[in-house]
């Protein structure tokens, strides 16, 4: 019984951690795209 509880808990924790990492990667990609298209962050060499 203890092994079953451990395996269920470990699988829930693993799925939570995997989802957390996927959300971080997704938001990081969105932020990189937004920063790439931000006109305030572009190099203003014409000034």
Q: For 1-47, write each residue's pLDDT tens digit.
A: 999 999 999 999 999 999 999 999 999 999 999 989 888 887 655 55
pLDDT at 40: 83
d(CA 12, CA 4): 12
Per the CB < 8 A criterion, the answer to whether 9 and 3 are in contact is no
Q: What is the tally of structural domains in the chain?
A: 1
34 located within any domain: no
3 located within any domain: yes
38 located within any domain: no
What does pLDDT average to over the chain? 90
19 located within any domain: yes
- Please give the residue range of the domain that contains residue 1: 1-26
pLDDT at 18: 98
41 located within any domain: no
42 located within any domain: no
């Amino acid at each position: 019984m203890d092994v079953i509880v451990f395996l269920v808990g470990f699988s829930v924790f693993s799925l939570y951690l995997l989802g957390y990492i996927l959300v971080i990667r997704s938001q990081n990609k969105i932020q990189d795209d937004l920063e790439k298209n931000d006109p305030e962050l572009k190099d203003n060499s014409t000034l």
